[in-house]
Structure 1
């Protein structure tokens, strides 16, 4: 049925206004032609359209590219291209690809433009899931709102892992969209998988328990089952024969001799269609004493002292194994870092330590020394975020190199000249300078020459050219060079001032006599300039003089090739000098003692300067103004302790009296360590596809605890095994740690569900809000449980689910087809079409206007006659 519609019908109110105006101002508007012209223009402004029925199709193909499809993408696109080409030129066609999410590959366009626009996408959605509902939603949004028979062609195996496709198809049908489903997928898949690895969440140390691996297969397959604990073999591999549709269960008995958290994996070694589902994992927590993880690059000085304390189980670990660290952290209550440089802890490991303390209520103790709190230490790292102190930031350095260019520097040692090795050392040293440092270069023989005036770091290429231009020639005059170096550095404004003098000696008796070493040593000290003297020759006179001037900064160099390392070592020691306080320094107690209560401190021979954070409690102080030696604070749900000196070296020998060392650190570990679970509370985490459900049961004295305000804080995987291809990768979990509120579902029972998109272990900390006003974030930590998310549901079943596809296509005018060829017999439905006819009224108004003008001209001529 055809009819006239108006895009802007409100403008039609101008018609009666025009009629009224014609009556009132008839004299000025003229006759009927003028009125008709005005009426036609008003109708044209209202955008009249001629409504009719059309048979045009707008079709979006939704192609399932998930892992269970085993799709040959180029072949599938070729088949789609042939199907799209069968549409009429006035039709529209588009393409959406979907897996765990959906993405538009081709927005609706004319079939005539397919050759230019339909190409294999650069990146497909993640294959570890199937969200058919999202695909239908995205495809329906791509279709034009009217004027076409709107269709979504779903090509899938129907095995959805997320969303509700039936509901989404019904919503699309309500909007006038037809869903045509076509079964696509492998007919038969010969695959074996580890369906489940059952294990208890918690056991006691020494208590026997059993694990059970459940295996499944779609065909007659023989495979080898391997079960590991923390990456090591837990039992000899065994051969298993699997039958289709018959689950096979394999049990393993085990027990623990020490507390901790252990990660089991059951893996099938088999050549089957899908490798992603050949491994399942489980986590078992062994409960007992306080579990202390001790991380040290060398021999752990304090580990034996802590291990001797009652109720402590200490596990030493080297910093070079991030994956072992990730599992060990989850099973520990406290981590001790003894002199571990930040460079030996990868960034993901540092982030994992910070999050573990903050989000699970564990403890961190960092024993100091230059490697921890000095340059190259924890400054600006996630470890510093967790500690109660800030590492002192580097001070500005003015460095001047005095380079001997006398003739003897051209001598070769092991095939390289001394001057060439010195040039290389200078370039390496300049590259190690920080932003804001100053650098100068003197070249001296008979007279010193300023090659690079003391100032900002020079350009490396320009400096290399200047060094290359230094040619060895002449005698060695040390005194003028030292004089000029002292003069330049005395005028520098940097907090640290240092000169590195490089020479091979070769001085005469007269030159040695002119060099007044004692006077130079005093003048350098008075000007606060430190000296490093690197001697590449074997001149005893020069060696004695330079050793007198530089003191501990003097180093004889046998091989000039070692100059590069000696330059960098001199630079490191110079910058360290600003951080390290050496010499006998008394230690005094602070105002609020908890860790050091009842322990009288002695004195230190060295420590690293740090700055206490505003909310930290400083228990021991040294120096004036005071520097924190022992500090503690609350960090999120956890606690951290910082000690600015070393343990077991000459620095701290005089600090401890009697058993003070063991007492203090035992108290520190007990204060910082994660508290034991609160009696009366139990929790479990169960995997449900890409989600996990945490259940907490609470009772006390035989009565259920109701009305609790419980929150679960979830720490996602950060240092787990590599992800399966196509899955979200560990190390960068979406959104990081998350919190969910638990709601009461039964007497004494609380539940919550959270997304688990990443494979690996999830550690869930249960917090009771408002239970301890002075506690962490106004809540009380109850307990921590762990569970592992294994492979995605995408890899659990294969083949076409026709019943699911039929249910999806059951919506309004939907249909389950057998192949793409069946689309040719799907007649396009009738759709409401609209044809603009405003141009008719515009042309009519123009014709009437011309006629009106002609009529007025003719009438004017008649009146003149």
Structure 2
């Protein structure tokens, strides 16, 4: 056991306290010499105890238990070494003592505990935790290892690795181990690399012009020679395939390609190699932005060549697709400068694709136009979708008081197969439908499994918030029985006096019973009840559901993408109220607008119909109806501009507009107003990896210091967090921590005149260096272990060898010293207040003199003497004590003297002797 101080320098205060005590002895008055000595000693003791307490003293106990943490590199470069490492650990554990403990941790980009610290000798048979194997972060592994050692104890970390770290700094971690007295030892593990080829570089110019020939350069590293095939794809379409002979070492391959279209070009260079160790390093991507004639994407369900022809005639490049063909990646939208939705329903798209379009418009300046029709705006199911967010209008109609009375019952399958996202989206869809209804509309909600559950009784809505909460609280569970739930819904609606009554059935399964559905629907038809059905998933009874919708005069939806469920229900709710379509011929009112005035200077033709919407507060209305509803509205959404035209392009609703001589110019104006204005000289982008983080370097030839705003988005449309700083005039640096893949960046810069300059480009983060062909780096492991006083272990039993620094347990005694100091402090106050004689007399009062006391060993001899001694020729008879002795007056007078002696001897031998002599005198009388 030892003693140590946490803040030993505070002990210097003892010198000051000694000076204070010296001055007290020399100059104090009013105390006699003895009192002064007592006060000085006690005060000095109090000072000493308090100052020692401030220095935080700790008793130190040595602990001979050895704690060992085995740290196993399980990254991709260590594939095939697991059995070898676990065998080494198992042999090492055999040599541990009974109280020694060990743990096992595996590390990659992150670290995880495989076996917690324990004294057992059982070793796990495999490393099974889920870690990211495509990086090596030894630093994080060491940090986790040090955290599982018992508090205030040290031990040994045994590292199994090849020494190639791609993230973190093992030397920094080793310095922290040294501060805790933990030793880092290592076992070098040689990587078992087989044959492997890797595409280490693939580059194209970041900016091109239409018609320009682009040079593609691919760099391949290989540890063997072989004949391979190289493929180059452009926007997922193969453009080059070539057989090449790869030699061992570095190979440089070049190709050329003509940029015939504008927009983002995403090239992918890939080498086909059989028997490779890593397939992940066989390809890389590169991005180029080709400038030239703007490209427009026209999305429409019905063939309407008039729109495309009008745009092509104005010199635009047009690509026409169906809604189902919309791209599922962000890069698919960034190829276009503007997107046109011509009478497209949200139920044909899904919210995932809507989110990507929203991202392209908001962060990359892509334009967007929506034209009306029976499948567009509110009737298309766009209520509360990402498309509604980017448009200058809301889907709700401000004139809801004109809508007919409506009764809606939603019948939702809540069986066990619906559990998860499917049920969550269905409940969210029902909630949106509630928000579209008026307060006086009638709503019912029935959830069913093997029986119906009426969650919301069919009645006029009084509290939307309460209804939505009830819908969202429905759990999953049970089987599937459709008929009884559908029957309950019909029975609730039949007696109600409403103008429109509708039932929406959503299920992902097949009914457990077969009943006469047609008779039930016929019964409902007598009171104008209609029925729509939604088939969720492949296991649903689509034939039955389609038949029910057809017979019930409703619509059938076959859902493949679950994210369209909310749009389906909001569309169904909107379709019920046909007054969303304003079908009254009118002349649109023209609102002054600098860009549109030249087109409308001679007035506009009559229009037949449009879809009623509500303008957003910051939007600009260019044309409005005689009911003040917007017909043509625009606004700025992020970096992009969007337009809503609530009439149609087919001429059915637009009326005489389709016959108007400037009709093609009007369509072209809609698109040209949304085309982004990109600067012709973009920033150059350079990507590099620094200590596990991706660093994006942006450089402009202008070399100015104007601030810029950047947005980085992944291929899936997810915004990436990044921090930016200026490193030099015209040079900026973004730091981000992201996985390998493709990313897009938009850059907005404000000039000194206040003008905005917009750039957009992309870059790829290559695969980790973990997958590169590298040698071992055992020198790094040796350097790290030397910092802690460790070494390379050559034998298994060395894992539990004595640790250079004993583990210790520390116990603070500060509280005890302060308690003792206060006791002496109170004593010193008493001496100064009452004087030393009074204090000492107080102690003497409770302490009796102990002179002439009979020793305890003499009492038995005295007892024997009394038994045999006679007084006046008479022997005293001593009676033995009995538990049954009764304490009467007579017996008290004859009480045995021996019992008295025993009783008194327990107290004080002197007092006992005195009372014994008095008893003898009384007997002699």
TM-score > 0.5 by shorter chain? yes
What is residue 705 of structure 2 aligned with on the other side? Answer: 708
Alignment of 1:780 onto 2:764: no
- 1:651 Cα deviation from its structure 2 partner: 0.6
CA distance in 2, matches of 1:41, 1:676: 77
Q: Contact 2:404 / 2:577 at 8 angstroms: preserved in 1?
A: no
Residue matched to 1:374: 378
Aligned residue in 1 for 2:287: 283
User: Does the C-alpha gap of structure 1 residues 69 and 438 become closer, same or farther in structure 2, counting only changes over 3 Å?
Assistant: same
Match of 1:248 among 231, 248, 251: 251
After superposition, the Cα gap between the structure-2 partners of 1:304 and 1:842, relative to the gap in structure 1 and judged at 3 Å, is closer
* Cross-structure match for 1:139: 145
Cα deviation, residue 310, structure 1 = 3.9
Deviations 1:235-267 (A, max 9, x none): 2352x44333x2223332211322122222222
Q: Between Structure 1 and Structure 2, which shows a larger proportion of strand residues? A: 1
> 1:354 and 1:223 mapped to 2: Cα distance?
42
Counterpart in the other structure of 1:587: 588
Partner of 2:224: helix, strand, or coil? coil
Measured at CA, do residues 51 and 688 of structure 1 come closer, stay the same or move farther in structure 2, by a change above 3 Å?
closer
Map 1:266-665 to 2 at 5 A: 266-269=269-272, 270-301=274-305, 303-321=307-325, 323=327, 326-392=330-396, 399=406, 434=434, 438=442, 465=484, 488-489=497-498, 497-499=499-501, 563-568=550-555, 574-595=575-596, 597-599=598-600, 600-624=603-627, 626-656=628-658, 658-665=660-667
Q: Which residue of 160, 164, 168 corresponds with 1:163? A: 168
- Taking a change above 3 Å as real, the CA distance of residues 665 and 696 of structure 1, as seen in their structure-2 partners, is farther
- How far did 1:288 drift? 0.8
Aligned partners of 1:43 and 1:841 also within 8 Å? no
Judging changes above 3 Å, is the alpha-carbon distance between structure 1 residues 309 and 568 closer, same or farther for their aligned structure 2 residues?
closer
Could you tell me whether the CA contact under 8 Å between 1:364 and 1:640 is conserved in 2?
yes
Indicate conservation of the 8 Å contact 1:296/1:337, yes or no. Answer: yes
Residue in 1 aligned with 2:799? 823
Residue 101 (structure 1) shift: 2.7
Q: 1:526 aligns to what?
A: none
**8 A Cα contact 1:44 1:842, kept in partner:** no
Checking the alignment, whether the CA contact within 8 Å between 1:691 and 1:757 is kept in structure 2 is yes
Q: Deviations over 1:258-280 (max 9, x none)?
A: 21222222223322211111111
| Alpha carbons of structure 1 residues 272 and 648: separation in structure 2 relative to 1, 3 Å | same
Q: Deviations over 1:585-609 (max 9, x none)?
A: 3211123342464223323322111
Structure 1 residues 164 and 584, CA, compared in 2 at 3 Å: closer, same or farther?
same
Q: Within 1, Cα distance between the matches of 2:3 and 2:573?
A: 88
Q: Deviations over 1:649-694 (max 9, x none)?
A: 4011323563432222323322221213245x54233354752433
Superposed, which structure 2 residues align to 1:193-212 within 5 Å? 193-212=198-217
Distance 1:562 1:742 in 2: 62
Paired with 1:643 and 1:471, the residues of 2 have a C-alpha distance of: 39
Alignment of 1:740 onto 2:742: no
Unpaired runs of 5+ in structure 1? 403-428, 442-451, 473-480, 490-496, 502-532, 538-542, 554-558, 699-704, 720-730
| 1:4–1:50 contact (8 Å) kept in structure 2 | yes
Inter-partner Cα distance in structure 1 for 2:629 and 2:490: 49
Corresponding residue SS for 1:384? helix
Please give the alpha-carbon distance, in whole angstroms, between the structure 1 residues aligned to 2:87 and 2:842: 63
TM-score scaled by structure 2? 0.66
CA contact under 8 A between 1:210 and 1:253: conserved in structure 2? yes
Other-structure match for 1:70: 79
Pick closer, same or farther for the CA change 1:42–1:671 going to 2, 3 Å: closer
Q: TM-score w.r.t. structure 1 length? A: 0.70
Sort the Cα spacing of 1:6 and 1:806 in 2 relative to 1 into closer, same or farther, 3 A: closer
Q: Secondary structure at the match of 1:274?
A: coil
What secondary structure does 2:744 align onto? strand
Structure 2 CA distance for partners of 1:112 and 1:578, relative to 1, 3 Å:
farther
Match of 1:264 in 2: 267
How far the C-alpha of 1:616 sits from its partner, in A, is 1.0
Radius of gyration: which is bigger? 2
Distance 1:365 1:757, change over 3 A: same
State whether residues 396 and 614 of structure 2, in contact with CA within 8 Å, keep that contact through their aligned partners in structure 1.
yes
* Count of matched residue pairs: 731
1:604 match: secondary structure: coil
Contact 1:770/1:780 (8 A) holds in 2:
yes
Aligned mate of 2:119, from 112, 122, 138:
112
| Cα distance, 1:534–1:281 mapped onto 2, change above 3 Å | same
CA–CA distance in 1 between the matches of 2:373 and 2:302? 14
Query: In 1, distance between residues paired with 2:115 and 2:390?
Result: 48
- Determine the structure 1 residue equivalent to 2:745: 764
Q: Which residue of 2 aligns with 1:412?
A: none
Structure 1 window deviating more from structure 2 (567-576 vs 191-200): it is: 567-576
In the TM superposition, what is the alpha-carbon distance from 1:826 to its structure 2 partner? 6.4
* Kept after mapping to 2: 8 A contact 1:357/1:638: yes
Residue aligning to 2:835: none
For structure 2, the residue ranges without an aligned partner over 5 or more in a row are 25-29, 410-428, 446-456, 462-466, 475-479, 504-517, 532-545, 557-570, 825-840, 853-909, 912-925
- State the Cα distance separating 1:338 from its structure 2 match: 2.0
Q: SS where residue 352 of structure 2 aligns? A: helix
| 1:858 Cα offset (Å) | 5.5
Distance 1:401 1:780 in 2: 51
Aligned-partner Cα distance in 1 for 2:502–2:58 = 89
SS at match of 1:757: coil
CA spacing shift, 1:115–1:319, aligned 2, 3 Å: farther
Residues 161-195 of structure 1 deviation map (CA, whole Å, 9 limit, x = unaligned): 22333344345435544332322352333212222
Aligned to 2:881: none
The worse-fitting range, judged by mean Cα deviation, of 345-354 and 95-104 is 95-104
State the match for 2:855 in structure 1: none
RMSD: 5.4
Please name the residue that 1:752 is paired with: 733
Q: Take 2:181 and 2:588, find their aligned partners in 1: how far apart are those partners? A: 81
User: Do the aligned residues in 2 keep the contact of 1:631 with 1:641 (CA within 8 Å)?
Assistant: yes
Equivalent of 1:228 in 228, 233, 236: 233
Q: Given that residues 361 and 641 in structure 2 are in contact (C-alpha distance below 8 angstroms), is that contact kept between their aligned partners in structure 1?
A: yes
Are the counterparts in 2 of residues 715 and 763 from structure 1 also a CA contact under 8 Å?
A: yes
Aligned to 2:220: 215
Distance 1:242 1:856 in 2: 107
Q: What SS does structure 2 have at the residue aligned with 1:187? A: coil
Deviation for aligned residue 1:212:
2.5
Whole-angstrom distance in 1 between the partners of 2:657 and 2:31: 109
Tell whether the 8 Å contact from 2:73 to 2:106 is kept in structure 1 after alignment: yes
1:123 deviation in Å?
A: 4.4
